[in-house]
Structure 1
Amino acid sequence: MGTLLFYITPVKAQNKPSASGDIDTSKTKGLGLLAAAKAATTIKPYKEVVPASAKTMKSFITVHQVADRYLFEIPDSMLKRDILIVSRVDKNPAGFTIPLVDIGYAGDEVGKAVISFEKIPGDKIALRSLVFNELSNDTSQNGMARSLSGRDFQSILGTFPVKAVNKDAKSTVIDLTDFINADNSVISFGIPFIRNLLANLIVDRSYIDDVHAYPNNIEIKAVKTYNMKPTPIGGTPPPISYEFNSSLVLLPSLLMKPRLADPRIGFFSNSYVDFDANPHGVATTKYIMRWRMEPRAEDMEKYKRGELVEPKKPIVIYIDPATPKKWVPYLIQGINDWQAAFEKAGFKDAIIGKIAPVSDSTWSLEDARHSVLVYKPSDVPNASGPNINDPRTGEILETHINWYHSVMTLVQNWYTIQAGAIDPRARHADLDDELMGELIRFVSSHEIGHTLGLMHNFGASSTVPVANLRNKAWVEAHGHTPSIMDYARFNYVAQPEDHISEKGIFPRIGDYDKWAIEWGYKLIPEAKTAQEEKPILNKWLVNKLASGKQYFYGSQLDPITNDFPINSTDPRDQSEDLGDDAMLASAYGIKNLKRVEPHLIEWLQKPGENYDRAGDAYTELVNEYTRFMGHVLRNIGGIYETPKTVEQPGTEYELEDKVKQERAMAFLNQQLFTTPYWLMDNKLYQLSKTGFTMVTKVQKKVLLTLLTTKLPLLLSEEENFPGKAYTATAMLQDLHRGIFAELPPNKPVSAYRRDLQKTYVEGLIALLDPKTTATDNDALSIAKAHAKMLEAELRKAAARTPRGITHDHFVDLSERLELALHPKSV
């Protein structure tokens, strides 16, 4: 799931659209924004501007359609009110999507901004862009609130002459037609990457298609046609037309009390520069994203007593009417599965999945009042659960979940490969509808978790002992992972003889998920501000984390960049893994892959079709094998990073156990660097586009990672954890014994092993180059000593080996190392 950033640019006068998407006023019909700002108009009588023939639509701002012009009548009470604008694709060009990103389908969000209207001199209304990235609530003599309010002058996107005044209604009429029709980053694409692909708006092929008003939002449909920029490979694509739906949503006047984020529990959040948090400077404050969940006034005392109550406004998520009917019950169940979690926060029936009321003419997929799971006819094998939230507080206002049709291909491949050895239902070209429905249910629950504000918890699966994953009674009672927000798909550790049912195979909403909802949504009535909540929330976390490992949160964010994807050194924070021991879990997983691989053709062939399904499944099987290697690799040089407050015992940083790192290296030598011939399926190679090169690429990638990334990391850990670390020298020695296992007994070296040994030597030579390895780093010294030892071994081995390919291979490698060690003497 990605988060789109605010992208609003003040309007400038220019001849062509800039990369930021400023408006080309010279090419728009009627008055452009700059022209509108300068135009001197006379205010006319209201009935002359808004005739009786006008089509009037009432909302928080009344919209009048007069011929092809759209007049917005803004009540005085709505001036300076914060309005959220969310733009989505309503209709996309046939057969076209934005390259490199999964954006461009109907329902995709492409822009977001907060605006307000206000009166300015000259009988004009200004449209301001609002940005909420700084905080100060301290209005005292020592606080920064007064200074900050004086500095926070918001940009003006455009000004509009007052056309008429409705004195009875105390409202002002302006014409927004030209603004809506223009190319701007408020209504259309607001993402810089996409705007850079577009050349310019074609005015005579762009128009407002419809405007519809609801009580708290206004929906605008606008068709915009663009010329495309030339492609990098030459040629210019033809123009493209999009229909955008832009929702203007009135933000609440009564702000929800925000809740401060905490790195020990995973919620999406908005960040602010906080001038109150640090008395001698500034700090970063984060408010979590969550729905407004409150009891009805008459139930508040019951809530305080700990009784379950229904919320004043439950979360309702509708299923897109375009969704195939047979999948609707499973998607609804995936939504309703979260009800039990909200009960931990004191609310019953807090979230409800419903079939869209297609017979209700007032219901619309685009209506921002409604949250919808949108079914997309796409070949993208994915799903995502974004949300629209109030940037002032983090309050989630609505969600449009993206559900791509081809996600079923993805889950079928996962299930066939990960569960094929233990569930006969996985052994078919097409899974039966009941099984596919249950797979859809788990994916929908995961995406709903995101819409509730939850981030991925990549550490959840690491809290479960591997032995428990094979214990039928335990795993069926508790599930294989305590969080559905982990990327832990199916129980690949369970063996056929364990007889585990689907209760122990499928992921489910677990203990961590229920705890996260409790922490994020349980009200603290006695606290009046977010800061007053902080000690209470901290106490909850300290106590809960002390009560069991299952409540651990492993961040999805990189600890250095604080962004996604994760690039952590913590072995616990990994995707697609299971259990507390990657070596043991992966060994079980490989045993199951060996059971599945020989049957791919048998299981997945269909009359009248080729063998592409089996080929795709083989690719997924190698991908699964690759993930196992990555899980193990993370243990080498691993450092546990556990955020803590002073009330919690222990350290925040802890080195991975030395013995465990040695086991990881031994595992890679045995399962990866020793040629895995069991993955060599010559029959399948002859029938589909597969090949063993997929495996050799994995070998080389892991090998070079050990030499270029893990070696310097281990050197650093030797300094920081003296006597406890798995040293760089020890790792090189263990790796050497695995890669060159044929040397002492002078065994013949296979082609695959010769290729791997060449990669090793070239990686070692790269470390000897001062251009790539810092001369003041011990990595160069260790690499040079190791290269000298290996060169001598290879020279002796060549002398003992009969002439042939193995002999020539040893001579070649010896000479390469000699040249690298003594470049001037050769």
Structure 2
Amino acid sequence: MNRMNMTSMLLAAALAIVAALPAEAKKKKQQAPKPPKSAYQKLMDKGGRISAEGGFVNLHKIQGKLYVELPLKYCGRDFLIASTTSKSSNAKLAIVGYKPQDPMCVCFNRLDSAIVLQTVNTGTIADDPLQVAYDRSYANPIIRKYRIAAYNADSTAVVFDMTDLFVGDEKQLSPVSSNYSVLGIKPTFQKDCSSLGNVKAFEDNATVTSTLSYKYSLTFLGSEVSQGQLTTEVTRTLLLLPELPMKPRIADSRLGIFLTDKSRLTMASDGIENFSYANRWRLEPRDSAAWSRGELVEPKKPIVWYVDDAFPEAWKEPLKQSVLIWNKAFEKIGFKNVMQAVDFPKNDPNFDPDNLKYSCIRYVPTPVKNAMGPSWVDPRTGEIVNASVLVYNDVVKLINNWRFVQTAQIDPRVRTKKMPDDVISESLSYAFAHEIGHTLGLMHNMAASAAIPVDSLRSASFTQKYGTTPSIMDYARFNYVAQPEDKGVRLSPPDMGVYDLFAIKWLYSPVKGNLSVEQEAKELEKWVDEKAGNPWYRYGRQQVEARYDPSALEEDLGDDPVKAGTYGVKNLQYILAHLDGWIKDDESTSHKQELYDGISQQFSRYLNNALANVGGIYLTDVKEGTKGQRCKPVSADKQHESMMWVMKQLRNSSWLDAPQLTAKFPLALKRSISIKGGVGRKLLQLNNRVLLASHITDNGYTQKDYYDDLYNGIWEPTIKGNRLTDGDKLLQRLVVKETVGSVAKLSGAATKNLAGEASSPYAPSVSDIVLYGLDPTGYVEQHANQMESLDEANGNGYIASLLSDNNHGDKSLSGRNFGDKIGYGFQFDVKTDLIDESAAYNLQMLSKIKALVRSRIASAPASDKPHYQAILTMLKVLDK
């Protein structure tokens, strides 16, 4: 039988078998059911699904819910989840481009039939021998648990619903801070007015946008002052952190670097060891061999800045220059093209300025005279992963005022209502470069400008080389020392100061050799040791809690505030005399009023800068065995000179009243009277500062010296038999009222002194907050009168304590130790009540005042007799 016949027979047999089957069996054979859909397929088949698939996680938006498809290989890996405001209905409470909360460092893990989200414990680490104990006692806490909705086709990934994290009231991702200046913010989440937005996925990150709505109330001292509604669009980024973290760098407190604080379990020292990592970008040479040969090399990954398309066109070039300026510092350590600045891409669908992968310079259209440069780090190592520069609209108004008030005596370009483009450009470049410095890890260095001799600021050759300060991270501003006759003098800070160059070297220069983190720290420490004692490399932390150090102030220049202030006052007198003629097209005089206020504030700064010498103590972090002195009081001669200079300036401040100009302004007290009142109060609150400074030296300026100077300065017109001015009378009333209050305490009387019962001699006053920019929102300045009343009632520093509680300013965490110890901290109040004899000196001074007034009242001018009679009435406390 051939093969064809055999095949035919088999086919016929098969057909016969089929034909013999019952009809029902045939029907079942023909309608065999399809395999059931998997849970994954059912989920993906739901209507309206929008998916974003990348090389990391996939996101699925399904019927208003967010499903995350997580590859199981990423379980146990560390992530950051950050929230950036993309749109806002209230730019003060929710700033576009800003992350008010630090990113969450988290990891996913599978637990039975669920996925858990855990916060990664990054604050404590352990040496290898103690790792078992660490694992038992420092486990990652679970903050969310998600039911696994499905596995993908090959079971390599799980899908779960994370809607609650992205469209919910997660405090760590809130677009609303808990405070605004001294105000508290209480937001109430409105779930029914919130919704899920777009989803995107990329190689190592994914983003989710959400619309979140809140009702909020603003509170002050626990009482509600206003309420409203806020709607924001936020972009949350889920970013995969490197599996191999950056090699960290241990901080040295002699340099002002932002910190990531750590604790270590170790047997190398007794007790748990606290230390800090320096915050810095991961900067590695693309060609290590070429870098080692001394060649300029590009980094593996440059630091790219994207400039907001919302900026006025004239601001964009200064902004880019503020970025590129820092390449000078990186070139000094062998890198080129580290800093790059580009416009927002117009045709890149993947670009998102609110994605954690992009660092941007953003425009904030609110009337705040400020800019800020925050950054966010990988908390495991201090690696900066993202930064922003936020530029508020009215920063240009501030610059306009600065340039006029500080340099109009010498620069004809600024004698105008609107600054010319070249002045605005160079001023903005400096202001923004300062903020870029923050994003590179540099804190404020408020001691930098004190390294420069005052007269050097009048030298063309010196200032052209060094500018006004060794660090643009100081608030040194513009050259108010330069006189009208000085030629060729630079008026602005340098593009890059010598301290800035050194700080970048310490932060970013690779250390040769395969050293451990601890070994590398020892090498870096030697670099700082070499600069110890050199004022050009001295770091002075910003004094937010208490202001001891007169060399580490904001808004000052030079090594001698009395000499700098003398030059500065002379310039202010010149500028004020010409203000009316220089400023045209100002029919309402509003601009002249702003400039006049600026002149008045600048004069107050000069007085306050000098007063900081009285009882002042220079504070420097010093390593044992290197040059320098940790606590050094200002010399007695300098304190005496400063006291007498301030009182002389107050007595001779009538030039500030400028009646021909101020007659065009709204009704107000003479400005000299207002300043005498404010500065006069501060003059009378220096006794405890003087006490502490004299306590730590054998030949200091004593409380007796202070009270003698106060008496001789305030009562000089009476001692000489001169007619009193209104200002003289004000100062004399103030000193008697303050001292009577102090003496009354000895007898248990209830009289309250000017400073209140909780007064701190070192805390910044309301006027300090305004004059030195300690409240970046400007809210305290806006309500200065009310704030001063609260300070007076509750004690000097009360308002400052509210700002401190709200964590404004460049604040590091607690700790006051050297080198690799935790944080930089602040110098807080040192209580002097155990050694305070000010009441006795006050009593002695009142007796002298009483005798003086009695001896002069009979021969005093008629206009002064009522004043002296009132003084004697106030002094009746001495008779009790």
Bucket of the pairwise TM-score, normalised by the shorter protein: 0.7 to 0.9
Greater alpha carbon shift after TM alignment, 476-485 vs 772-781? 772-781
1:199 Cα deviation after fit: 5.2
Specify whether residues 705 and 177 from structure 1 end up closer, same or farther in structure 2 by C-alpha distance, changes over 3 A only: same
1:265 Cα deviation after fit: 0.9
1:314 Cα deviation after fit: 0.8
Which residue matches 2:416? 428
Does residue 769 of structure 1 match 2:758? Answer: no
- Aligned residue for 1:764, secondary structure, equals helix
1:390 Cα deviation after fit: 0.9
Which residue matches 1:64? 60
Specify whether residues 230 and 706 from structure 1 end up closer, same or farther in structure 2 by C-alpha distance, changes over 3 A only: closer
1:230 Cα deviation after fit: 7.8
Equivalent in 231, 252, 277 of residue 287 of structure 1: 277
Specify whether residues 646 and 602 from structure 1 end up closer, same or farther in structure 2 by C-alpha distance, changes over 3 A only: same
Q: Is the 8 A contact 1:76 1:171 kept in 2?
A: yes
* Counterpart amino acid of residue 302 in structure 2: P
Which residue matches 1:410? 398
Which residue matches 2:292? 304
Which residue matches 1:712? 688
1:507 Cα deviation after fit: 4.1
* Counterpart amino acid of residue 517 in structure 1: I
- C-alpha distance in 2 between matches for 1:190 and 1:395: 25
Q: Is the 8 A contact 1:675 1:752 kept in 2?
A: no
Greater alpha carbon shift after TM alignment, 788-797 vs 221-230? 221-230
Which residue matches 1:92? 88
1:720 Cα deviation after fit: 2.3
Specify whether residues 711 and 235 from structure 1 end up closer, same or farther in structure 2 by C-alpha distance, changes over 3 A only: closer
* Counterpart amino acid of residue 682 in structure 1: P
- C-alpha distance in 2 between matches for 1:229 and 1:156: 31
Which residue matches 1:740? 715
Which residue matches 1:782? 841
Q: Deviations over 1:743-790 (max 9, x none)?
A: 223222122211121011111112213266969731111111111121
1:696 Cα deviation after fit: 3.0
* Counterpart amino acid of residue 822 in structure 1: D
Which residue matches 2:384? 396
- C-alpha distance in 2 between matches for 1:236 and 1:463: 47
Does residue 104 of structure 1 match 2:83? Answer: no
- Aligned residue for 1:517, secondary structure, equals helix
- Aligned residue for 2:719, secondary structure, equals coil
1:671 Cα deviation after fit: 1.1
* Counterpart amino acid of residue 678 in structure 1: W
Query: If you compute each CA radius of gyration, which structure gives the higher value, 1 or 2?
Result: 2
- C-alpha distance in 1 between matches for 2:659 and 2:230: 46
Give the TM-score normalised by structure 2.
0.82
Does residue 272 of structure 1 match 2:262? Answer: yes
Does residue 597 of structure 1 match 2:579? Answer: no
1:44 Cα deviation after fit: 5.5
Equivalent in 112, 117, 142 of residue 127 of structure 1: 117
Equivalent in 336, 361, 366 of residue 349 of structure 2: 361
Equivalent in 520, 526, 533 of residue 539 of structure 1: 526
Specify whether residues 467 and 707 from structure 1 end up closer, same or farther in structure 2 by C-alpha distance, changes over 3 A only: same
Equivalent in 731, 749, 761 of residue 756 of structure 1: 731
- C-alpha distance in 1 between matches for 2:261 and 2:854: 60
Q: How does 1:555-594 map to 2 (within 5 A)?
A: 555-556=541-542, 558=543, 565=544, 567-594=546-573
- C-alpha distance in 2 between matches for 1:594 and 1:133: 55
Which residue matches 1:816? 874
Q: Is the 8 A contact 2:216 2:228 kept in 1?
A: yes
1:238 Cα deviation after fit: 4.3
* Counterpart amino acid of residue 177 in structure 1: T
Greater alpha carbon shift after TM alignment, 508-517 vs 216-225? 216-225
Specify whether residues 326 and 235 from structure 1 end up closer, same or farther in structure 2 by C-alpha distance, changes over 3 A only: closer
1:705 Cα deviation after fit: 2.6
- C-alpha distance in 1 between matches for 2:604 and 2:853: 30
Specify whether residues 187 and 734 from structure 1 end up closer, same or farther in structure 2 by C-alpha distance, changes over 3 A only: closer
Which residue matches 2:50? 55
Q: Deviations over 1:686-708 (max 9, x none)?
A: 32347455443432333333332
Q: Is the 8 A contact 2:64 2:195 kept in 1?
A: no
Specify whether residues 654 and 87 from structure 1 end up closer, same or farther in structure 2 by C-alpha distance, changes over 3 A only: same
Q: Deviations over 1:71-90 (max 9, x none)?
A: 10111121122211221221
1:566 Cα deviation after fit: 5.6
Specify whether residues 700 and 128 from structure 1 end up closer, same or farther in structure 2 by C-alpha distance, changes over 3 A only: same
- C-alpha distance in 1 between matches for 2:397 and 2:383: 34
* Counterpart amino acid of residue 808 in structure 1: P
- C-alpha distance in 1 between matches for 2:219 and 2:550: 42
* Counterpart amino acid of residue 296 in structure 2: L
Q: Deviations over 1:483-539 (max 9, x none)?
A: 1111011111011111134x4444431111111100111111425332111211111
Q: Deviations over 1:390-425 (max 9, x none)?
A: 111111111121011211001010001000000000
Q: Deviations over 1:298-337 (max 9, x none)?
A: x112222332211100111111111122221121111101
Equivalent in 649, 667, 673 of residue 627 of structure 2: 649
Equivalent in 144, 147, 157 of residue 171 of structure 1: 157
1:816 Cα deviation after fit: 1.1
- C-alpha distance in 1 between matches for 2:538 and 2:459: 22
Specify whether residues 549 and 767 from structure 1 end up closer, same or farther in structure 2 by C-alpha distance, changes over 3 A only: same
Which residue matches 1:685? 662
Specify whether residues 52 and 97 from structure 1 end up closer, same or farther in structure 2 by C-alpha distance, changes over 3 A only: closer
Greater alpha carbon shift after TM alignment, 59-68 vs 535-544? 59-68
Q: Percent identity?
A: 30
Q: Is the 8 A contact 2:184 2:218 kept in 1?
A: no
Which residue matches 1:620? 598
- Aligned residue for 1:257, secondary structure, equals coil
Q: Is the 8 A contact 1:619 1:690 kept in 2?
A: no
- Aligned residue for 2:239, secondary structure, equals strand
Specify whether residues 444 and 238 from structure 1 end up closer, same or farther in structure 2 by C-alpha distance, changes over 3 A only: closer
Q: Is the 8 A contact 2:451 2:535 kept in 1?
A: yes
- Aligned residue for 2:233, secondary structure, equals strand
Q: How does 1:306-325 map to 2 (within 5 A)?
A: 306-325=294-313
The number of equivalent residue pairs is: 755
1:152 Cα deviation after fit: 1.4
- C-alpha distance in 1 between matches for 2:596 and 2:60: 60
Which residue matches 2:463? 475
Q: How does 1:179-194 map to 2 (within 5 A)?
A: 179-189=165-175, 191-193=177-179
Specify whether residues 237 and 704 from structure 1 end up closer, same or farther in structure 2 by C-alpha distance, changes over 3 A only: closer
Q: Is the 8 A contact 1:570 1:639 kept in 2?
A: yes
Does residue 490 of structure 1 match 2:478? Answer: yes
Specify whether residues 537 and 566 from structure 1 end up closer, same or farther in structure 2 by C-alpha distance, changes over 3 A only: farther
| Higher RCO (C-alpha 8 Å, min separation 6) | 2
- Aligned residue for 2:103, secondary structure, equals strand
Q: Deviations over 1:109-151 (max 9, x none)?
A: 2223324343454411111223422232x112xxx44322211
1:463 Cα deviation after fit: 0.4
Give the TM-score normalised by structure 1.
0.87
Q: Is the 8 A contact 1:385 1:400 kept in 2?
A: yes
Q: Deviations over 1:694-732 (max 9, x none)?
A: 443432333333332x2122223333212x101111111
Q: Is the 8 A contact 1:482 1:550 kept in 2?
A: yes
Greater alpha carbon shift after TM alignment, 696-705 vs 428-437? 696-705
- C-alpha distance in 1 between matches for 2:447 and 2:316: 31
Specify whether residues 267 and 56 from structure 1 end up closer, same or farther in structure 2 by C-alpha distance, changes over 3 A only: same
Equivalent in 510, 514, 520 of residue 523 of structure 1: 510
Which residue matches 1:700? 677
* Counterpart amino acid of residue 606 in structure 1: D
Does residue 80 of structure 1 match 2:139? Answer: no
- C-alpha distance in 2 between matches for 1:419 and 1:675: 23
Q: Structure 1: where are the runs of 5+ without partners?
A: 1-42, 559-564
Specify whether residues 733 and 174 from structure 1 end up closer, same or farther in structure 2 by C-alpha distance, changes over 3 A only: same
Specify whether residues 793 and 474 from structure 1 end up closer, same or farther in structure 2 by C-alpha distance, changes over 3 A only: same
